[in-house]
């Protein structure tokens, strides 16, 4: 029996290796459009491959899977983050869990994962064809099973060959990207990192975590998470929106109490001379000038209006988003094959028997932190198990 895997990325190789382990008799062939396999794995996580997450204290998967969390909740019972951790360690890739719950290869190098996949593929006789695009299911008529693991598609046109089979497509849009912000004074603080809360004005979309100021605007986990939550809203808005930043990651009342304490203790001290909370001095100076102007002010000289402006700047600072990060640094796409078109237990197409989907080609995507790779492992394992189950059943019938 033969299985074709369309897409030589993380989900494709994980599916191939697990399928061969479950059913060694299965002939498995990977077709990759580009000239290289696993290129996205190589650059992920800054070249370290954030391959999963500990999911510690994770009460609701919708917090990390803005799209597809119900499917992931179901399938994590089949193959969870704990299973992924054990799988990699069992196959010679020791892992380490960081304080932020992100899981990386212990050697801090994505090639540990790539080398593992390639070595296992060679061992199990998986055939790999690069530079071989598939744009019609008829190209794979010789195969008993087909698994599509092509990852996210920048344009819906890349999935049309699946749409003609009856699958509904959810319009792909970028996710996990940084924000362009036209504020010269802010961008002069590039490299500054602060724990912050961010939200898109007029929406329910919000996130928190480290915020990084860059020479084009803002990045960091807080911004990347927010871009994931608001991916479709931002696309519909042509990436023009208002960003609200709580630099202190505290409530307005808490910040006001902190400032009033400075007035009481240090009335003669210059407001801009000493940062409060966890803010750096450079960022504090920028924020006080943003709130109060360049006038030299002492704590005891602040009137009520000025105090209110300072509080508002610290907990509700507003910036205009003017597009996505210009370096096209997004690696995840929201959208793809609509989930109602697949069996939620097997990920087999409801329109074409023997056709399966795994990874980002499905309308499932996560925030930064290893959650997208976990979705790849979980869905790929589910498909491998499904195909192996059918294949072994057929072989059993033939032997009777």
d(CA 258, CA 106): 42
pLDDT at 88 over 80: yes
Interval 131-151: pLDDT, tens:
999 999 999 999 999 999 998
Q: Read off the pLDDT of residues 11-62 as tens digits, 9 standing for 90 and up.
A: 999 999 999 999 999 999 999 999 999 999 999 999 999 999 999 988 899 9
Domains of the chain, first to last: 2-174+331-399 (3.50.50.60), 177-329 (no CATH)
Question: Quick one: pLDDT at residue 329?
Answer: 45
pLDDT digits (tens, 9 = 90+) for 96-118: 999 999 999 999 999 999 999 99
pLDDT surpassing 50 at residue 175:
yes
- Sheet with 2-6, edge to edge strand ranges: 127-129, 27-31, 2-6, 145-148, 355-357
Determine the pLDDT at residue 204.
Answer: 97
Q: Average pLDDT of 179-189?
A: 96
Average pLDDT of the residues of the chain: 95
pLDDT of residue 400: 62
* Contact predicate 149/6, CB 8 Å: yes
* pTM for the predicted model, two decimal places: 0.93
pLDDT band for position 326 (50/70/90)?
low
CA 331 to chain centroid? 8
């Amino acid at each position: 029996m033969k299985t074709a895997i369309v897409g030589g990325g993380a989900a494709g190789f994980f599916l191939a290796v697990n399928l061969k382990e479950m059913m060694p008799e299965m002939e498995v062939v990977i077709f990759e459009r580009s000239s290289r396999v696993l290129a996205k794995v190589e650059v992920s996580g800054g070249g370290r491959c954030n391959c999963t997450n500990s999911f510690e204290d994770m009460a609701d998967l919708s917090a990390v899977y803005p799209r597809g969390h119900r499917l992931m909740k179901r399938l994590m019972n089949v193959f969870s983050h704990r299973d992924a951790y054990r799988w990699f360690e069992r196959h010679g890739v020791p892992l380490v869990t960081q304080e932020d719950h992100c899981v990386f290869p212990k050697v801090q190098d994505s090639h540990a994962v790539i080398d593992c996949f390639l070595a296992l593929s060679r061992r199990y006789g998986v055939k790999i064809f690069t530079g071989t695009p598939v744009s019609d299911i008829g190209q794979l008529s010789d195969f008993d099973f087909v698994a599509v693991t092509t990852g996210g598609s920048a344009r819906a046109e890349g999935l049309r060959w699946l749409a003609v089979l009856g699958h509904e497509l959810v319009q792909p849009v970028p996710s996990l990207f940084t924000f362009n912000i036209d504020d010269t004074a802010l961008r002069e603080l590039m490299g500054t990192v602060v724990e912050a809360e961010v939200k898109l004005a007029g929406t329910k979309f919000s996130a928190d975590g480290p915020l990084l100021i860059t020479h084009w605007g803002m990045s960091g986990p807080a911004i990347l998470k927010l871009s994931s939550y608001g991916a479709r809203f931002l696309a519909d808005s042509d990436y023009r929106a208002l960003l609200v930043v709580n630099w202190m990651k505290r409530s307005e009342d808490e910040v006001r109490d902190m400032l009033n304490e400075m007035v009481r203790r240090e009335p003669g001290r210059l407001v801009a001379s000493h940062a409060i909370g966890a803010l750096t001095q450079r960022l504090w100076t920028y924020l006080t000038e943003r709130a109060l102007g360049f006038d030299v002010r002492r704590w005891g000289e602040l009137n009520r209006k000025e105090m209110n402006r300072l509080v508002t700047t610290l907990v509700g600072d507003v910036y205009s988003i003017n597009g996505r990060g210009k370096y096209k640094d997004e690696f995840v796409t929201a959208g793809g094959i609509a989930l109602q078109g697949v069996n939620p237990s097997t990920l087999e197409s409801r329109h074409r028997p023997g056709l399966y989907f795994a990874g980002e080609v499905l309308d499932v995507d996560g925030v930064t932190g290893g959650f997208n790779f976990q979705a790849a492992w979980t869905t790929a394992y589910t498909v491998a198990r499904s195909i192996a189950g059918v294949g072994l059943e057929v072989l059993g019938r033939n032997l009777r």
